[in-house]
Structure 1
Amino acid sequence: MILLFLATAYAHEGPPYPILVDHQFNDHKLSVWADPDTGSGSFYFYPEGVNKKEFSYEIIASPQTNPLHIIKGETDSLKLIIPFDQNLMWNVTIRVKEKVSQFTLTTKTLALEVTPPGPNKLEFAIYLVPFIILAFFWAKIILVKQKKKS
């Protein structure tokens, strides 16, 4: 159980972080933030410039160890979920297209580490049990010491 906790502790847990910042294309800039967890990797697109609602976004991802295993996703909104199935380093290609013509405006490929998701509520409660027991005994010792003083 301790090993399970340690393995989970090293996983990325928390808010998304920037993977692409101020990528310039035409008269626009694009920043992309990601929370690349196994099962549901989240990508958030932050375009800057005029007509920024005229874009669609595509993610094409493949593990560095197996480039033939490809996962794709496309969206017209500013968020995209990719169902990563392995905790590995992935090559992720971000493609920005015009919504209507589907003409590719820019493409950027980068390496991204996919990590397991953090603990769920039940796991968190299980991890908390030893600390609750320790707090109970600590409080009991303090109460016994105070009782002996009086």
Structure 2
Amino acid sequence: MKINVTNINDWSWRSFVLVMFLLLLPPAVESHEGPPFPIIIDQEVGPYLVSVWTDPDIGIGTFFVVFDPRKSATQSMDINSVQIGVAPTSGRLSEKLYDAERQVTRSVRYNTEVEFDKGEMWKVRVVIKGTGWEGELHSEVEATPDGNIGPIAVLVYAIPFIGIGILWFRAIMVRRRKEDEE
């Protein structure tokens, strides 16, 4: 039985082009971001031990302020406001304050998103006000890229796989030609 090679080649070529087209499209998925990490751990502020966690991505960074009541706390436990202030350590911008909102969790936790316009070191100031008490915490954090590598990088990383696909396709075509000659 002889197979019509022109139809197979035409079908194979169209399939190859379709697969390559789909592989070269930029992905429409979000990249995975790493977990937040602590920048302040168990600092005493009012009747609480406060920890601050962050995911400082360039663009939009996230801060979490976690409150654990101290065992010896005798003051009121009410938290009236939590604000996060950020400013570049270079001084090129003035500090901008962001109000944090309380999250409904088992612990007392506030979170907010802040803007980091550039990858550099940033001063972080946490301002906490409660009924009859207030406090501030200070730290620094480096804003980093969010892990999105973009379409050009996807193409660069895909080159070895595209090369293997081309070699595989050529091997199939050579094998079919040899089978047809027999």
Q: What's the TM-score once normalised by structure 2's chain length? A: 0.58
State whether residues 87 and 123 of structure 2, in contact with CA within 8 Å, keep that contact through their aligned partners in structure 1: yes
Cα distance change, pair 129–53 in 1 and its aligned pair in 2 (3 A) = farther
Q: Tell me what 1:60 maps to.
A: 85
Deviation of 1:118 (Å): 1.3
Which of residues 109, 112, 118 is equivalent to 1:80?
112
Gaps of 5+ in 2: 1-32, 71-75, 103-109, 173-182
Q: Superposed, which structure 2 residues align to 1:112-127 within 5 Å?
A: 112-119=141-148, 122=151, 125-127=154-156
Residues 44 and 126 of structure 1, relative CA distance in 2, 3 Å threshold: farther
TM-score (norm: length of structure 1): 0.69
* 1:92-115 per-position Cα deviation (integer Å, ceiling 9, x unaligned): 1111112xx6x6621011111111
Q: CA RMSD in A?
A: 3.2
Larger Cα-atom Rg: 2
Q: Distance in 2 between matches of 1:140 and 1:114?
A: 44
Percentage of matched positions with identical amino acids: 24
C-alpha distance in 2, partners of 1:53/1:118?
Answer: 38
Q: How many residues align?
A: 132
Partner of 1:28: 48
CA distance in 1, matches of 2:170, 2:40: 53
- Paired residue for 1:89? 121
